Amino acid sequence: MKNVYLISYDVADAKRLRLTHRKLCGFGASLQYSVFRCELSKLQLMSLKEGLWEILNLMEDRVMVVDLGPAGARGDDCVEFWGNPRTEIPERKAFVI
């Protein structure tokens, strides 16, 4: 089961900032410049954390991870935009193969 996470970061160094953004692009959708929405299993969340810990300098940088709840439930409906969002939250679809 996956949960929806809101992940925000504040990175002091330009190189680490780029690497952090690239790492998060592989796990979720950018909602604003330093804010991502990610649907992750516990294993995926741990993988993301380990990847970010290799990039970040925790004496200078900061990451906030907010668990919004299960995907397909409250986690899908608890983000509200005012104004023009940078990207649309992808619609969840079932695929039958």
Binding residues for Mg(2+), by number, are 10
**Which residue in 40, 72, 90 sits closest to 51, CA to CA?**
40
Any idea what DSSP says for residue 73?
T
Helix 42-55 vs helix 14-25: angle between axes, to the nearest 10 degrees?
160
Q: Cβ distance 32 to 81 under 8 Å? A: no
Binding-site entries: 10
